[in-house]
């Protein structure tokens, strides 16, 4: 039987505010345990929460960036459950009227783009952290994270593969980092993802029973965990079993998910409006003001890259995925004037070197101005492609500050003088008479491949400085 997976994601984004969502305690990461949990975060009697305006602003910015409806009114509710890292016995969250209404995100896939609808996004407070090891059989609780503002973004169950889920998650990641509303650091938990996964026979309308996978904190693990869960469910059903609705935990070491607890019914949380917080009202002028202040977003960049700069969908997708990479590319293009060439180098040579040296773009030893300087010399035929790679490697290694310095020092200037190239060609042809005879005897459609041999020999003899196009043309003329 053909199976189809259905995936919905709940993404928790930690908002990059200075203080908590309802208190003036710091949100800084990595502080000593419980030094940033104030009386409000601890839920001491008599305290009152006051909403952080920055958290509201960030949530609205996100909503605008995903083309969402921003209702003028939203309010907070209490989600009641007991756990030691939740001091108040409830999490202040939103349900009936969240701050961000329905929106959507277009995700780039190899076969084209796909629209994934976002059901809503709501503001809530984070809980503390439980540490289960090393306390003589007890659990240690650090409440520093309690009250940190989170934006929970809930997608519709509209993704059909782990790849699509990862593309969606990357889309969310790039939007929040473009907007600067989160650092998006998955390792530190600034962006966390729960995946709801179910399978159904292809063509069936009705959804299968879903499992929620928690604890997936990198793009790679999201893909692996979802793939694993899809396989598990298909095997279970094919063996005559039945999927039970439950929460499962992904274990990256074993590459498997295991049952955590059977999911409590949604209404067991007994949501009710929080009497301590009044409804939030946003006027249209405020929303309009934030809309006008939005930076160019990944989608808009991608569109500009394809429509105005003529890049391929793929290149535009890669370049717009991170704001830093897009800014780098824009700067190179601005100086060298050739977007396609700039795209090739930024997604090719530059990205490969970064990978090889495990560096972030911010740490790249070659600045966009330096790369642009190199590309200008390629464009005005001062050097050929092969020499350009040498120059790039030299810039990377810090052997010179500008491409021009390196071209000069290494004598990489391209020979375009036909007389000089002709002399080399004559030598090469004389030394390879047998190949020349073979070429002349060959059918026209075989010759294309055979000429490569001579080009190679000539380039080698010129130590890579001959202009390959000139060499090609002259060879064709001479060989007849």
Residues that bind another protein (CB under 8 A): 17-19, 23-26, 32-40, 42, 50-56, 75, 80, 82-84, 96-97, 130-132, 135, 137-143, 249, 260-261, 268, 270, 273, 275, 277-281
* Of residues 270, 273, 272, the one with CA closest to residue 82: 270
For residue 293, the minimal CB distance to another protein (Å) is 16
For residue 80, the minimal CB distance to another protein (Å) is 8
Q: Which is nearer to another protein, 17 or 322 (CB)?
A: 17
DSSP state of 190: S
Rg of the chain in Å (alpha carbons)? 29
Q: Which is nearer to another protein, 161 or 247 (CB)?
A: 247
Q: Which is nearer to another protein, 47 or 361 (CB)?
A: 47
Four-residue CA torsion sign, 317, 320, 321, 326: positive
User: DSSP alpha helices (H): ranges in 180-297?
Assistant: 219-238, 284-292
Q: Which is nearer to another protein, 57 or 223 (CB)?
A: 57
146 with 87: CB under 8 angstroms?
yes
For residue 292, the minimal CB distance to another protein (Å) is 20
For residue 124, the minimal CB distance to another protein (Å) is 15
For residue 14, the minimal CB distance to another protein (Å) is 14
Cα–Cα distances (Å) from 336 to 333, 368, 376, 377, in that order, read 5, 10, 5, 9
Burial state string for 193-215 with b = 16 or more CB within 10 A and e = fewer than 16 = bbbbbbbbeeeeeeebebbbbbb
For residue 41, the minimal CB distance to another protein (Å) is 9
Kindly give, in sequence order, each residue whose CB lies less than 8 Å from that of residue 47, ignoring residues fewer than 6 positions away: 39, 40
Q: Which is nearer to another protein, 65 or 99 (CB)?
A: 99
For residue 378, what is the enclosing H or E element? helix 368-379
Query: Which structure tokens are listed for 42?
Result: 């601890």
Q: Which is nearer to another protein, 32 or 380 (CB)?
A: 32
* Count of Cβ atoms closer than 10 Å to residue 109 Cβ: 14
Location of structure tokens 């003899």: 461
Q: Which is nearer to another protein, 115 or 136 (CB)?
A: 136
Q: Which is nearer to another protein, 30 or 419 (CB)?
A: 30
426 with 433: CB under 8 angstroms?
no
For residue 191, the minimal CB distance to another protein (Å) is 20
* Of residues 11, 7, 8, 41, the one with CA closest to residue 24: 41
For residue 235, the minimal CB distance to another protein (Å) is 25
């Amino acid at each position: 039987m053909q199976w189809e997976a259905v995936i919905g994601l709940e993404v928790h984004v930690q908002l990059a505010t200075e203080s908590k969502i309802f208190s003036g305690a710091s949100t800084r990461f990595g502080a000593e345990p419980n030094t940033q949990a104030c009386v409000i975060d601890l839920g001491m009697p008599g305290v009152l929460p006051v909403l952080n305006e920055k958290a509201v602003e960030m949530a609205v910015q996100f909503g605008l960036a995903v083309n969402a409806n921003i209702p003028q009114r939203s309010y907070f509710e209490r989600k009641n459950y007991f756990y030691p890292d939740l001091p108040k016995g409830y999490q202040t969250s939103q349900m009936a009227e969240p701050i961000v209404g329905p929106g959507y995100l277009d995700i780039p896939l190899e076969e084209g783009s796909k629209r994934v609808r976002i059901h809503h996004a709501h503001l809530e407070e984070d809980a503390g952290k439980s540490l289960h090891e090393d306390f003589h059989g007890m659990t240690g609780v650090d409440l520093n994270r309690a009250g940190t503002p989170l934006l929970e973004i809930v997608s519709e169950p509209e993704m059909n593969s782990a790849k699509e889920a990862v593309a969606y998650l990357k889309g969310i990641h790039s939007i929040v980092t473009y907007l600067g509303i989160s650092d998006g650091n998955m390792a530190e938990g600034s962006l966390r993802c729960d995946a709801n996964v179910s399978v159904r026979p292809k063509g069936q309308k009705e959804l299968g029973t879903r499992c929620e996978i928690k604890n997936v904190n990198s793009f790679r693990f999201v893909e692996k965990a979802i793939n694993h869960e899809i396989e598990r469910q298909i095997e279970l059903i094919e063996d005559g079993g039945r999927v039970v609705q439950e929460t499962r935990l992904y274990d990256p070491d074993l590459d498997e998910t295991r049952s955590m607890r059977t999911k409590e019914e949604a209404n067991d949380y007994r949501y009710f409006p929080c009497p301590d917080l009044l409804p939030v009202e946003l006027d249209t002028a405020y929303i309009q003001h934030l809309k006008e202040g939005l930076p160019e977003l990944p989608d808009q960049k991608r569109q500009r890259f394809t429509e105005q700069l003529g890049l391929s969908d793929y290149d535009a997708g890669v370049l717009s995925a991170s704001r830093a990479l897009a800014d780098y590319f824009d700067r190179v293009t601005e100086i060298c004037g050739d977007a396609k060439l700039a795209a090739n180098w930024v997604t090719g040579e530059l990205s490969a070197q970064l990978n090889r040296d495990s560096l972030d773009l911010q740490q790249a030893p070659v600045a966009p101005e330096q790369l642009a300087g190199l590309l200008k010399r390629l464009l005005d035929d001062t050097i050929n492609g092969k020499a350009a790679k040498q120059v790039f490697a030299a810039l990377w290694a810090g052997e010179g500050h500008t491409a021009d310095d390196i071209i000069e020092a290494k004598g990489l200037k391209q020979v375009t003088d036909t007389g000089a190239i002709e002399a080399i060609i004559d030598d090469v042809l004389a030394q390879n008479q047998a190949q020349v005879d073979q070429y002349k005897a060959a059918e026209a459609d075989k010759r294309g491949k055979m000429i490569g041999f001579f080009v190679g020999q000539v380039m080698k003899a010129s130590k890579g400085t001959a202009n390959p196009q000139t060499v090609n043309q002259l060879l064709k003329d001479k060989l007849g």
